[in-house]
Chains A and B, each alone.
Chain A
Amino acid sequence: DIQMTQSPSSLSASVGDRVTITCRASQGIRNHLAWFQQKPGKAPKSLIKAASNLQSGVPSKFSGSGSGTDFTLTISSLQPEDFATYYCLQYDTYPLTFGGGTRVEI
């Protein structure tokens, strides 16, 4: 199975900060990586697919990059509504696997 390692596992940041979360795959997954945001008690919400393509309706403050094994999610200017946990997902190879999550605290 492909292991997805996310870092950091949690972070504290201020409103207006630029935040970067990384996800590393244990083997190459091309660009078959998605990012999700999850708020407490809610289902995950799709942010980015194919490593760098913004999901429809998602604000442009979110961006993604990377290919192969190393990926990043960046929030350009953190807002209070961005308090959430963020997960990466590789969908290149079965079984599909998620990263362990990054909790963002404001």
Chain B
Amino acid sequence: EVQLLESGGGLVQPGGSLRLSCAASGFIFSDHYMDWVRQAPGKGPEWVARIRDRSKSYSTEYAASVKGRFSISRDDSENSLYLQMNSLKTEDTAVYYCARGENWGGYRYFDFWGRGTLVTVSS
């Protein structure tokens, strides 16, 4: 059974930093692209970042709203995904989901999501 379990959320002041983790199990983690998606209270989901697999040199993509402040990484030996968030703003307040990028026809969509971890940026 595919499982994704996020952790590391909490309350942080504007300008602060936080590191989110996602523990994966039930599938071959190293074979998959992985993503972070967030959802602000009462809003729709917003894609945040993607990291490709080893065959693509772990290359990354970011939403413009977080580029230069957030960094996605992974540790295939630990089946773990990370999101380092710096210079946090109040508008970064959201539930952050870890999602698996499944390949269908050469393009990746999200087929499994974790339960999410809440990040609140407030003074």
**Which residues of A line the B interface, CB within 8 A?**
1, 31-32, 34, 36, 42-46, 49-50, 53, 55, 87, 89, 91-92, 94-101
Contacts and interface: CB of A to CB of B under 8 A. Distances in A.
A87 B63 contact: no
Contacts, number: 61
A76 B35 CA distance: 31
B110 A89 contact: yes
A98 B116 contact: no
Given A43-B97, A49-B104, A98-B45, A55 B111 contact: yes
A25 to B, nearest CB: 14
B104 A46 contact: no
B107 A46 contact: no
A71 B106 CA distance: 20
A14 B107 CA distance: 36
B56 to A, nearest CB: 14
Interface string B72-106: 00000000000000000000000001000010110
A43 B3 CA distance: 12
Contacts of B102: 49
A101 B44 contact: yes
A87 B63 CA distance: 19
B32 interface: no
